């Protein structure tokens, strides 16, 4: 009986080893696929970033220079200071907006 038991354990052990190797191979394949997908995502993000930089560079030509605005006595309201002022003033307004009839 012990010899038969040893043979059964050996068969089960080989089956377990084969399944373990199959799982390791599956894990390696999944990791390779995920890394390939990640590489594609990185290329996509880099491409979008390049396009944004090109659009930003192209839009710089449409901005009026400060010297042109000063010559026209125009003080543009831009920047963080104006946004903070708007944020601080908004609770002070306190008026109710109603729909038109």
Residue 29 lies in a domain: yes
The number of C-alpha atoms within 13 Å of 98 and in the hemisphere containing its C-beta is 2
* String of DSSP letters for 9-50: HHHHHHHHHHHHHHHHHHHHHHHHHHHHHHHHHHHHHHHHHH
pTM, rounded to two decimals? 0.42
What is the Cα–Cα distance from 69 to 46, expressed in whole angstroms?
36
Residue 73 lies in a domain: no
Residue 6 lies in a domain: yes
Residue 100 lies in a domain: no
Q: pLDDT tens digits for 17-65? A: 899 999 999 999 999 999 999 999 999 999 888 888 887 776 666 665 6
11: containing domain: 2-63
Residue 82 lies in a domain: no
Q: pLDDT tens digits for 20-29? A: 999 999 999 9
**Number of domains observed in the structure of the chain:** 1
Residue 87 lies in a domain: no
Residue 96 lies in a domain: no
Residue 56 lies in a domain: yes
């Amino acid at each position: 009986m012990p010899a038969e038991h040893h043979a059964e354990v050996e068969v089960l052990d080989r089956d377990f080893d084969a399944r373990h190797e199959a799982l390791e191979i599956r894990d390696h394949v999944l990791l390779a696929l995920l890394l390939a997908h990640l590489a594609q995502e990185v290329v996509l993000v880099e491409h979008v970033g390049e396009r944004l930089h090109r659009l930003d560079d192209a839009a710089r030509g449409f901005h009026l220079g400060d010297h042109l605005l000063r010559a026209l006595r125009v003080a543009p309201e831009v920047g963080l200071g104006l946004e903070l002022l708007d944020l601080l003033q908004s609770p002070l307004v306190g008026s109710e907006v109603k729909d038109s009839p």
